[in-house]
């Protein structure tokens, strides 16, 4: 049985070359993440071309995902490395002055008050504001740790106002549209308006890239239902979310995010520290394997590797561990999920349901934008899903979706049988399929047919369109 859950891998110094990209694809990577917190447009474009070239040579559907920075707050103006002990005084201000440091988004300082907490370096150093003097905040360290220039800053306080898109992000989105990026991940999303703004910039550049909202703020959890009305995907960004919402709340939030994404037929990625030990070890910990498996049981579409493949010592081995864990977990996975009926998903549900009882190789969905494929995937059929599209641009995007084994590109036709004939020419005529499609082919949202294409039907189609 083919693997259902997809693997997203981040490229970086350890893997950004043709040899490693090829190895990663062969090992099982479905989506490559380009982290735009680092690098230049020129370097990312070269990486993009390498991915496309390697995937084409291997005849694999591989998506490229741009991850834009967002207003990530970092320490600014700190000289050297600072060892912080519990009880130490830290001073943060809008202007750097000796031991007084600032942040990359100094406007936030005015929004903070005495008693608010500030977390540094992924929450390893926690501090509480004890005094506020104009543009200066005096803080008391609550934990020990190490701080230095560029370390991340999180402010859990509710009501902090920041735009999700910086000027750099907007420039990066225009670049993504220009080169043809498949998927864009937007950092620090708080509302549906953040997604609409990103989509508008992409559309102005003639891009139909899918937009994934990274859920890493408490405000995003509060507005999750509204965000789901606009996004093409979600990411459970457990690093910052764990800091903002609290580490012990994270498992429950992960389940909630995945459940709501599943209900809306929206692909969801589970990310952050899935195989951290494999940055320096060829083997995972038992806890890491369990973490991956639990994300699968929760219903995730994909799992993601960050530092493990970007700068780790064992990037290919990490992907192989992912594959082995996913395959083992999927053997006892609960397939054929049921949800409250939604009229628009009736044909997708019927195809998934029938695949349990009718002899078939796969469910083949003729789709204009991929919506029907995502709806079929929602019901988690055990049989593979084949996507049949008219536009090459959707060939890579669907690599993110649970259960999609392969995507085929055909020419549009008014004859449904001709569409199936084109598909059969690529896969052969030896197997039978459940096929979904629409009476008005090529028009979004018109799927209204479920058809069993058995041996008898295949013979008829070949007699009609040629042997």
| Pairing outcome for strands 125-133 and 117-120 | antiparallel
Mean pLDDT across 367-374: 94
Q: Contacts for 193-200 with beta carbons within 8 Å, 24 or more apart?
A: 194/163, 194/164, 194/165, 195/227, 195/230, 195/231, 196/230, 197/164, 197/165, 198/164, 198/165, 198/169, 198/173, 199/230
The structure's pTM equals 0.92
* pLDDT digits 0-9 by tens, 419-428: 999 999 999 9
Residue percentage of the chain with pLDDT more than 70 = 100
Q: 157: pLDDT confidence band, cut at 50, 70 and 90? A: confident
What pLDDT does 121 receive?
Answer: 87
Q: In 3D, which of 53, 64, 11 has the Cα closest to residue 393?
A: 64
Q: 452: pLDDT confidence band, cut at 50, 70 and 90? A: very high
Secondary structure (H, E, C), 297-314: HHCCCEEEECHHHHCCCC
Query: 3-class DSSP state for residue 11?
Result: coil
Mean pLDDT across 85-114: 93
Burial 96-133 (b: 16+ CB within 10 A, else e): eeeebbbbbbbebbeebeeebebbbbbbbbbbebeebe
Mean pLDDT across 243-257: 94
User: Quick one: which H or E segment has residue 434?
Assistant: strand 433-438
Return mean pLDDT, the chain: 94
For residue 230, pLDDT beyond 70 = yes
What pLDDT does 1 receive?
Answer: 66
Give the C-alpha separation, 37 to 16, whole Å.
Answer: 15
Give the C-alpha separation, 166 to 350, whole Å.
Answer: 44
For residue 442, pLDDT beyond 80 = no
Mean pLDDT across 199-227: 96
Mean pLDDT across 384-389: 97
Q: Which domains does the chain show, CATH number per domain?
A: 6-70+164-330 (3.20.20.60), 75-154 (2.40.33.10), 343-465 (3.40.1380.20)
């Amino acid at each position: 049985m083919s693997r259902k859950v997809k693997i997203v891998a981040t490229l970086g110094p350890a893997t950004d070359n043709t040899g490693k990209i090829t190895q990663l694809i062969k090992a099982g990577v479905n989506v490559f993440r380009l982290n735009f917190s680092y690098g230049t447009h020129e370097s990312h474009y070269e990486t993009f071309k390498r991915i496309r070239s390697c995937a084409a040579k291997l005849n694999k559907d591989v998506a490229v995902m741009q991850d834009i920075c967002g207003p990530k707050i970092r320490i600014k103006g700190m000289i050297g490395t600072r060892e912080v002990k519990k009880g130490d005084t830290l001073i943060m201000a809008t202007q750097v002055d000796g031991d007084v440091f600032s942040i990359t988004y100094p406007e936030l300082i005015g929004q903070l008050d005495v008693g608010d907490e500030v977390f540094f370096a992924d929450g390893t150093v926690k501090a509480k504001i004890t005094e506020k003097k104009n543009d200066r905040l005096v803080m008391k360290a609550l934990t020990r740790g190490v701080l230095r220039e560029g370390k991340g800053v999180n402010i859990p306080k509710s009501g902090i106002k920041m735009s999700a898109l910086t000027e750099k992000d907007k420039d990066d989105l225009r670049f993504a549209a220009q080169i043809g990026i498949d998927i864009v991940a937007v950092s620090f999303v708080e509302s549906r308006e953040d997604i609409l703004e990103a989509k508008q910039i992409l559309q102005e550049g003639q891009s139909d890239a899918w937009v994934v909202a990274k859920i890493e703020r408490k405000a995003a959890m509060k507005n999750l239902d509204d965000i789901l009305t606009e996004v093409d995907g979600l990411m459970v960004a457990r690093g910052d979310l764990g800091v903002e919402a609290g580490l012990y709340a994270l498992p429950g939030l992960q389940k909630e995010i995945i459940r709501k994404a599943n209900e809306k037929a929206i692909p969801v990625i589970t990310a952050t520290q899935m195989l951290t030990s494999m940055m320096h070890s060829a083997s995972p910990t038992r806890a890491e394997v369990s973490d991956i498996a639990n994300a699968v049981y929760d219903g995730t579409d994909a799992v993601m590797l960050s530092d493990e493949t970007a700068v780790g010592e064992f990037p290919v081995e990490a992907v192989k561990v992912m594959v082995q864990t996913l395959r083992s977990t999927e053997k006892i996975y609960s397939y054929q999920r049921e949800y409250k009926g939604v009229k628009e998903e009736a044909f997708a549900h019927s195809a998934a349901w029938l695949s349990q009882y009718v002899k078939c190789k796969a469910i083949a969905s003729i789709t204009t934008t991929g919506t029907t494929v995502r709806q079929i995937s929602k019901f988690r059929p055990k049989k593979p899903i084949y996507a049949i599209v008219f536009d090459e641009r959707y060939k890579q995007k669907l690599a993110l979706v649970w259960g999609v084994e392969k995507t085929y590109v055909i020419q549009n036709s008014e004859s449904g049988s001709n569409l199936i004939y084109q598909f059969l020419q690529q896969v052969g005529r030896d197997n039978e399929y459940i096929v979904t499609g629409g009476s008005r082919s090529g028009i979004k949202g018109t799927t209204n047919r479920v058809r069993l294409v058995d041996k008898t039907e295949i013979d008829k189609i070949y007699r009609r369109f040629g042997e």
